[in-house]
Structure 1
Amino acid sequence: MAHEPGRSPAHDSAGRAPDDQRGVLYPRRLPEFHRIGPPPGLDHAVAWFWIPEWALPPGEESRQEILPFPACNLVVEPGRATIVGPPTTRSERVLTGSGWAVGALLRPASVPALGIDAVALRDAVRPLDDLELLRAVTAAMSDAARDGDARRDSAAAALAAWIRDRVPAPPHGSTAALANALADAIADPAITRVAELEPRLHTSTRTLQRIAERCFGVPLHAMIRRRRLQEAAARLREDPEATISRLASELGYADHAHFTTDFTALLGMPPSDYRKRLQDRVGAVAGRHHGRP
């Protein structure tokens, strides 16, 4: 979703802007989905707030497949609040009926401040026992007197206030500040190997490895590989002329065989099959638009 006028831009935990859908494997399947940048003074803690809403007819479902960058999220949805740990694989969720969620994609500096053990929480969810936060966000999303933007802004503001009270701006040179700088460096497509981070950040690789474990929950090489594969999936969606060999070379792989192996291990299919699936879905959508079954 494009960034809305008047809302502050932000970057995700890989240093990207909130309108970047690189980790969404099938963007056409998304329900109504909104991203809101953090308020001034909170971009050290939150990359953006994300709010999906859906109302599907009986018997219909929407299958969401995401290849997210390893990061933690704070999520409020009807009846519960949770901390969602860093994913190590692609994630999938099937939406049915109606619902909503209000999430905050956390910057790495938030992880130690909120007492999150990122390694222990890999691919896992931890309940967040805060009834006041749950009530505030639920009340905002359920306020029928407000239009959609006002409801979502109010819900994001409630979540932002909760985070602001718990995650101070990190001092320059602190581990938390370096963790955010590391996320921004990894977002640079020019970074294809761990060894390239040390001169960029003027910090030893060993120190960066420790920060990665503590604030991201995954090793440095895994983060770089995830960013490269997110980029690969986006290029396969957007550039029909991009060959597998060319993509492998541009993303820093020694050859297309290594690229295909990594892509298949994470997405469950080789890049050629992913591209074909995208084309099949586009054709199916076009067929429905022209009255064909």
Structure 2
Amino acid sequence: MAPVRRDTRGIVDAAELFTHVDFRRVEPAEPLRRYVEQYWLIDWNLSEPYVSHVVPHPAVNIVFQRFEGQDPFVEVAGIQLGLFAQKLEGRGRVCGIKFRPGGFRPFAPEHPVTHWTGHRIRSPEVLPDTDPLTILSPDDEKARVAALDTFLLGLDPQPDPQADLATTLVDRIGADRTIRRVTDFARSEGMSVRLLQRLFATYVGVGPKWVILRHRIHEALERAETEAPVDWAALAADLGYADQAHLVRDFTATVGVPPTAYAQGVH
């Protein structure tokens, strides 16, 4: 299994986010690592409201949340198809579980993962009698992580070879830039396009084409934040776009601003 990612892919203007919140990533207990990529923990104490933005990954999250003036709650956050925005103000705490692509289905086998896509469902039926305070209350971070481990292990996920296959295929897309067309990828895996799409719908929550395009945007975001200036035409070719205009179109549709304007803003 791949280790916890230490990059900031998907976070819009990560440097700005980190000036407002205390953000950490932590590995789950070893038996959970086939299903869970990481836990992510955020604490904040703000004098002024702040809105964070994320270009989502192909991953379902379970999120325990406590906002000032509200009762704590837990929700299943399916894959969000567009830019995700979250307003933070006052004091608060979040403890999130980011599942590997394919890793959530063993915890909720009654539905294909597309059931959750585009939705954020509070206190869902797959998490009966879950008290968010058991996760959110401890001030000691290790205690919160241990509580997350106990919570997930108590759900008793059953290994599913098809879930493992889905995880492997999404990881392969993320690691191999030459994967650009669904038809070619399906053929290389000895699968029909229809079978590949059905596997992704059931276990990932989005189609393979969406995953390929999303990895392109994540890399473009990261390059915009770490390189100055960016050769956008070369990057478009590197990411498999026919030309720079297609990269600009996808980036603008996903992030909300053209890539050149975004790069100027973060620098």
TM-score, normalised on structure 2? 0.87
Structure 1 residues not aligned, in runs of 5+: 1-8, 12-16, 144-150, 280-293
1:35 aligns with 2:25: yes
Counterpart in the other structure of 1:97: 90
Aligned 1:1-293 pairs, distance under 5 A: 10-11=2-3, 17-30=4-17, 31-57=21-47, 60-78=48-66, 79-115=72-108, 117-128=112-123, 129-140=127-138, 143=139, 151-168=140-157, 170=159, 174-188=161-175, 189-198=177-186, 200-279=188-267
Give the total of aligned pairs.
253
Structure 2 Cα separation of the partners of residues 10 and 231 of structure 1: 18
TM-score, normalised on structure 1? 0.80
Whichever residue aligns with residue 15 of structure 2, its letter is: R
Give the C-alpha shift of residue 132 in structure 1.
4.5
Give the C-alpha shift of residue 107 in structure 1.
1.8
What whole-Å deviation, never above 9, does each CA across 1:179-225 have from its counterpart, x for those lacking one?
A: 11112112113322223433554433322211111122211101110
Structure 1 Cα separation of the partners of residues 117 and 245 of structure 2: 28
What whole-Å deviation, never above 9, does each CA across 1:138-189 have from its counterpart, x for those lacking one?
A: 332xx4xxxxxxx222212212222223354635xx2111111112112113
CA contact (8 A) 2:78 2:116 kept: yes
Structure 2 Cα separation of the partners of residues 169 and 40 of structure 1: 15
Structure 2 Cα separation of the partners of residues 191 and 103 of structure 1: 30
Structure 1 Cα separation of the partners of residues 50 and 207 of structure 2: 32
Distance 1:183 1:211, change over 3 A: same
Partner SS for 1:41: helix
Whichever residue aligns with residue 62 of structure 2, its letter is: L
Structure 2 Cα separation of the partners of residues 204 and 42 of structure 1: 31
Structure 1 Cα separation of the partners of residues 42 and 184 of structure 2: 37
Distance 1:202 1:163, change over 3 A: farther
CA contact (8 A) 2:23 2:43 kept: yes
CA contact (8 A) 1:133 1:159 kept: no
Q: Percent identity?
A: 28
Distance 1:163 1:261, change over 3 A: same
CA contact (8 A) 1:18 1:36 kept: no
Runs of 4+ in structure 1 off by over 6 angstroms are none
CA contact (8 A) 1:37 1:48 kept: yes
Distance 1:207 1:133, change over 3 A: farther
Counterpart in the other structure of 2:69: none
CA contact (8 A) 1:44 1:109 kept: no
What whole-Å deviation, never above 9, does each CA across 1:56-83 have from its counterpart, x for those lacking one?
A: 12xx122211112121100112311110
Structure 2 residues not aligned, in runs of 5+: 67-71
Partner SS for 1:119: helix
Structure 1 Cα separation of the partners of residues 156 and 179 of structure 2: 29
Partner SS for 2:7: coil
CA contact (8 A) 2:58 2:101 kept: no
Structure 1 Cα separation of the partners of residues 34 and 156 of structure 2: 9
